[in-house]
Amino acid sequence: MPRKGPRKSSGRKYGKAASKSVESAMRRRKRGTLKSGKSGHGGKVKSRKQAIAIGLSEARKKGAKVPRRPSGGKKR
């Protein structure tokens, strides 16, 4: 029986390049070399979630397949 309604797009949500970028950020966090803020002027990143966010942000800048950031107010 055919399904009705909008079709879900198949495939990966994040590209392989994005995965590599996050992996690299996590490794830098473990080594203690991952810094927050523009050009690393912030402090050391200790949070796992923050490291993932930085990795995805870097991947986005390189043009990797990463979903758009949710627009709207920042969550706390």
Closest CA to 24 of 39, 3, 2, 45: 45
Report, as an integer, the average pLDDT of 11-17.
89
Buried-state track 11-33, b at ≥16 Cβ within 10 A, e below 16: eeeeeeebbebbebbbebbeeee
Tell me the pLDDT tens digit for each residue of 23-75.
999 999 999 999 988 877 888 999 999 999 999 999 999 999 998 887 876 66
CA neighbours within 13 Å on the CB side: how many for 71?
1
pLDDT band at 7 (very low <50, low <70, confident <90, very high): low
